[in-house]
Amino acid sequence: MSLIERLGRWAAVLGLGLCVAGIPAGPVVAAGLASAWRVGILAPRGPEKALKAWAGWRDWLERRFPGERFDLVPLLPDEALRRGALDRLDFLLANPVQFGALDPGRPVRWLATLRPSGRGDLRFLEQIGSAIWVRETGPFSLAQLRGRRVGAVDPKALGGYLLGVELLDREGLEPGLDYVPVFSGFPAERPLLQLLAGRVDAAIVPLCLYEELRDAGRLGEASLRLLRPAAADAGPGDGPPSCAASTRTLPGWSLAALDTVPDALAAALGRALLEAPPSADLPRWSLPVSAADVERRLRRIDYVSGGPGIWAQARRLLAYYWPWLAGLAGLAVLLLVNSLWLARVARRQRRRLRRAHEQLHAYEQALARADRAASLKEMAAGIAHEVKQPLSAILQYAEAAAYRLRSEEPDSALLPVVQRIRDEVLRCDRSIANLRGWARPGPVAPVGERRALGVLVGQVVEMVRLQADRQGVRIESSMPVALAAHPVSSAFEQVLVNVLNNAVQSGAGLVSVRARAGPGGVRIEIADDGPGFEEAHLRFPFVPFRTTRRDGLGLGLLIAQRIMLSLRGRIHLDRRADGRPGALVALDLPLESAGSDS
């Protein structure tokens, strides 16, 4: 694209009259032979001001080079920084340093540099520098800017920011670390206005801006103060600075011919600028001044070409603070490792907890099943007993009747009837015997495997606690180490569950389970602070179907007693020994050697 454009321009210059269509922004080939050269002018103060300031010069140029047309193209600095913004230009009027930042890849010939002329509207182009303004109330030195908000126009503005930053850098202050830059954007007077409004504590502005605004009366009554006036610093430009500055002043703008301009034209133009007689209306030019010194100084703080690059800044931070950063990184690694480790521990703990819970749950279900079966069997046994009593009575009446009939009237027709009654009773009895036969291997016989007493009690307490917690009942248990390994039949679980459930459901608030050495073995005492046993209950403890609970079967203690008997143990019901209300159940287990059961 740009090659075609350039060819097109050459065609225009050679007067071949070729019209290159479809290139909208190319040099305009007018109806005559005059062609327009596009002269880009940086316009930090806005396009109108720039056009107004340079119009006279443009006219002079066109008079000097009849047949050539020059179009002024004002560029706001941030526009100019956009990639490709310079593609359509043939000349550029800008600060050489800033040009480097704009498009470093493009070949350029510097033709001339502006000299201070005292002309009001150009004076801040002729010399470049920064003025750092503060309010009268302070701060009073550059050092006092530490921690303050410092206004500037744009991070890439040369007079409006970079030179000020370079000055502060020499004072040991770094942007972002020691003070806070606040960028207002173009036009360049904004930072000053923000300073007046109190939104920033200092403003970095280009040279002469303050004076211009003051002369135009735009600052009102406010009085601002310049930090570190640099009057003695003349710099490479000639003459004293025309405006107050904080930094040294640099040579002003230069005119550059870009690579679309033929050498002959460039040379002729440069000569014309230098040879022009001094005039009040025109800018004065000198030979191009090198910007290498400025560039070098700015590069020292890494601001040229792209301004404060994020990597450059990071590198500087790293160089300054590497021990701290290394420490922080180490700390972070340590924290990371620590948290990973904790997470691992927590995960393992959680898994173990879940497994224990599942185990407990399965165990609880098994016990509940066993309890249901035991209850059913005990109920069957109870019913069998209840039915047997009347059966027994019927049979004996029948037997007596039969005996009487046989001895008194052996021919009685009633005798076979009585015999039939007897037979039916016996049949009934057999049915009950069957029922009992099913109930028999129930809770009375199970010896089961042997378990360590401590483990068994711990598991049962844990399980009952699941329910007790819901009812707000606390269970505490103690188990001397010497007894924990005592072997005990797993059938004892059922006993403990029944007794503990009774205690928990009696309305107690605290249930304690204590194991100690007892008569001939181990005694486990379950005490609660509920209402305790009634007198009748204590005298005749193991009566089936007697319960104080609405949903109770009245078999729990009975089953417990049966199992204890089958284990050759005893169960005692009592009141609490300390005289307070509450029940005490003592379970005595004999010392058994492994496999001692007959």
Partner 1 sequence: MNTNEAIIHVVDDDPSVRHACRYMLETVGMACRDWPDGRVFLERADLYAAGVVLLDMRMPHWDGRAVQAHLSQLGSPLSIIVLTGHADVPMVTDAFRSGAVDFLEKPVLLDTLLPAIGRALDRSEQACRRRRLLGLYHALSPRERSVIRGVRAGMTNREIADGQDVSVRYVEVQRAQAMEKLGAAHMADLIRILTEIGDP
Residues near partner 1 (CB under 8 A): 381, 384-385, 388-397, 399-400, 402-404, 422, 425-426, 429, 436, 440, 444, 540, 543, 565-566
CB 152, CB 160: distance < 8 Å: yes
**Which C-beta is closer to partner 1: that of 23 or that of 435?**
435
**Which C-beta is closer to partner 1: that of 255 or that of 560?**
560
**Which C-beta is closer to partner 1: that of 72 or that of 384?**
384
* Strand (E) or helix (H) holding 404: helix 310-408
Provide the minimum distance between the beta carbon of 504 and partner 1 in the complex, in angstroms, as a whole number. Answer: 27
Provide the minimum distance between the beta carbon of 404 and partner 1 in the complex, in angstroms, as a whole number. Answer: 6
Provide the 10 A C-beta neighbour count for residue 422: 18
Provide the minimum distance between the beta carbon of 526 and partner 1 in the complex, in angstroms, as a whole number. Answer: 24
Provide the minimum distance between the beta carbon of 425 and partner 1 in the complex, in angstroms, as a whole number. Answer: 6
Provide the minimum distance between the beta carbon of 484 and partner 1 in the complex, in angstroms, as a whole number. Answer: 30
- Joined tokens for residue 568: 């050759």
Torsion, Cα of 75, 80, 83, 89 (10° steps): 50
220: left (phi over 0), alpha (psi -120 to 50) or beta: left
**Which C-beta is closer to partner 1: that of 48 or that of 386?**
386
**Which C-beta is closer to partner 1: that of 180 or that of 383?**
383
**Which C-beta is closer to partner 1: that of 387 or that of 484?**
387
**Which C-beta is closer to partner 1: that of 88 or that of 562?**
562
As a whole number of angstroms, the distance between CA 591 and CA 454 comes to 15
Question: Phi, psi at residue 177, to the nearest 5°?
Answer: -100, -50
- Joined tokens for residue 456: 């068994």
* Sheet architecture: strand order including 570-575: 474-478, 510-518, 521-528, 583-590, 570-575
CB 229, CB 167: distance < 8 Å: no
> Distance of alpha carbon 435 from its chain centroid, rounded?
68
Provide the minimum distance between the beta carbon of 550 and partner 1 in the complex, in angstroms, as a whole number. Answer: 23
Provide the minimum distance between the beta carbon of 401 and partner 1 in the complex, in angstroms, as a whole number. Answer: 8
**Which C-beta is closer to partner 1: that of 305 or that of 419?**
419
Q: Please enumerate in sequence order all residues whose Cβ is within 8 A of that of 101, keeping only pairs 6 or more positions apart, or say none.
A: 81, 156, 304, 305, 306, 307
Amino acid letter for position 373 = A
DSSP 126-154: HEE-EEEEEETTB--SGGGGTT-EEEES-
* 487 upstream amide cis, omega within 30 of 0: no
**Which C-beta is closer to partner 1: that of 363 or that of 542?**
542
**Which C-beta is closer to partner 1: that of 149 or that of 546?**
546
- For residue 372, give the nearest of 556, 115, 132, 214 by alpha carbon: 556
| Strand 521-528 versus strand 510-518 pairing type | antiparallel
Provide the minimum distance between the beta carbon of 570 and partner 1 in the complex, in angstroms, as a whole number. Answer: 13
Q: Where are the alpha helices (DSSP H) in 235-276?
A: 263-275
CB 129, CB 241: distance < 8 Å: yes
